[in-house]
């Protein structure tokens, strides 16, 4: 990636795409009623940023996306909560993808990211609420994270294959 303007435009597009995904996923009905469980479709974009760009870019996309999402609905407390999940998840996914690519497939990276996201969220929720009992949500959220992580991993694989054929990131 030579031209910084091109990178800037790509990052802006990714923030917009992640934001749209985080909004439309709320419209998709889930087969089970589990409070707090989300598909995490925006994670597709975070993974693409890690794969094609770098950790810093992915982190920028995540922080901007969670900030904008909280402006559209949620407020400052929801921002702290989702940024904590997003940042922890991005760190874990970037480390696994950049350092342990031989051991983990993109789907594995995605599952680890989904679990890290939930842990980060619960940690932030515990601090914000001053309530340690929120940790009891973790097993349920982790079980959901395995399923949504696989789904996001499959989507990311398909998208990454398609993007490799274009020359967008050359």
Partner 1 sequence: MLKKGDVILVVLALAGIAAGFGLIRLGAGTGDGAMTAVIKQGDRVIKTIDLNEVEAPEKLVITGDYTETVLIEKGRIRFLEADCPDQVCVKTGWLSKNGDMAVCLPNRAMIKIEGQSADVDGGTY
Q: Is 162 in the site for partner 1 (CB under 8 A)?
A: no
Cα dihedral: 79, 129, 148, 59 (round 10): 30
Q: What are the tokens at 116?
A: 């890290």
Q: Is 138 in the site for partner 1 (CB under 8 A)?
A: yes
Please report which helix (H) or strand (E) contains residue 145, including its range. helix 138-165
Q: Is 146 in the site for partner 1 (CB under 8 A)?
A: yes
Coil, strand or helix at 38: coil
Q: Is 104 in the site for partner 1 (CB under 8 A)?
A: yes
Q: Is 77 in the site for partner 1 (CB under 8 A)?
A: yes
The residue whose two tokens read 């991005």 is 90
Q: Is 142 in the site for partner 1 (CB under 8 A)?
A: yes
* Distance in angstroms between the alpha carbons of the first and the last residue of the chain: 6
Q: Residues interacting with partner 1, by CB under 8 A? A: 33, 35-36, 73-75, 77-78, 81, 96, 100, 102-105, 107-108, 111-112, 115, 125, 128-131, 133-134, 136-139, 142-143, 145-146, 157
């Amino acid at each position: 990636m030579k031209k910084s303007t091109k990178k800037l435009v790509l990052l802006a597009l990714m923030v917009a795409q992640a934001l749209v995904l985080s909004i439309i996923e709320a419209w998709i009905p889930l087969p089970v009623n589990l409070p707090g469980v989300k598909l995490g479709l925006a994670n597709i974009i975070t993974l693409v940023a890690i794969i094609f760009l770098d950790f810093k870019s992915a982190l920028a996309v995540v922080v901007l996306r969670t900030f904008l999402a909280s402006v559209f609905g949620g407020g400052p407390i929801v921002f702290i909560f989702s940024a904590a999940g997003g940042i922890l998840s991005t760190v874990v996914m970037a480390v696994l993808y950049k350092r342990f690519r031989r051991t983990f497939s993109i789907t594995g990276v995605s599952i680890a990211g989904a679990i890290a996201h939930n842990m980060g969220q619960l940690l932030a929720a515990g601090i914000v609420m001053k309530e340690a009992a929120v940790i009891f949500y973790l097993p349920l959220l982790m079980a959901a994270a395995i399923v949504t992580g696989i789904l996001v991993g499959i989507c990311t694989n398909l998208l990454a294959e398609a993007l490799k054929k274009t020359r967008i990131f050359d």
